[in-house]
Amino acid sequence: MLNRFGFSPTESRVYEALLRLGSSTGYAVAQSLGIARANAYQALESLTQRGAARKAAARPVRYVALPPVALVAELERSFRRDLGALEESLRRVTLAAASPEAPGDLEILTSSDDLVERFVRAADSSAEELLAVTGSWAEGSFDALERAERRGVAVRSLVLGEDAPPGSHARAVSESELRSYWGGLPMAAVADRRYAVCGIIEGPDSSGMAGVVPGVVVFVRHLLRREIAG
């Protein structure tokens, strides 16, 4: 039973025995299962350390199983903590993968696919704050913003154009106006004040950049804050 959740087969059997026997000594548990006392005591101590059993300060020492409902709740809390730590670690790996290895490097982007991909990777790697400007022309960008919000990231975004998702901070501007002003369709993002990507999409081509250069990140973040606030 418990071996599916990281417990050894012996620990699982000992826990089940405690449920049947109630408060018991290690000797009684070993006898009921037909195993060596040393193995029973080792499993009981492990169950105690992991919160699946309690040990009474008596002579001889007696053990009692944590009730199933309480054990399931404790396992759920433990797994949530572990999953949260795993998610945070993977986000940092993703951000590192999205960023150039050298802190001073700046990546020049000439493909619209690369620009959108860097935007999405920046959004997916954000852990605390995400500032973004995008539009329906950047396929996948809306989903990336929603994923960041579901993770609890402080997302501040502006969707340009006439096609914006419900509830978004949107500015209705025709694509012809955007192209006339920008020379293409703009998009930009800054993740956690560490990584910035920005550029203009024009057909399959783009003109943009991405990187972790501190001066560039600060500058793009400042511009995005003003654009989103405006």
Task: Report the chain's mean pLDDT, rounded to a whole number.
Answer: 83
201-226 per-position pLDDT tens digit: 887 778 899 988 888 888 889 888 88
Question: Please, what are the domains in the chain?
Answer: 2-66 (1.10.10.10), 93-229 (3.30.870.10)
Instruction: Please tell me whether the peptide bond between 186 and the residue prior to it is cis, using omega within 30 degrees of 0.
Output: no
Strand 185-191, strand 129-135: pairing: antiparallel
- How high is the pLDDT of residue 188? 93
Main-chain phi, psi angles of 89, to 5 degrees: -65, -40
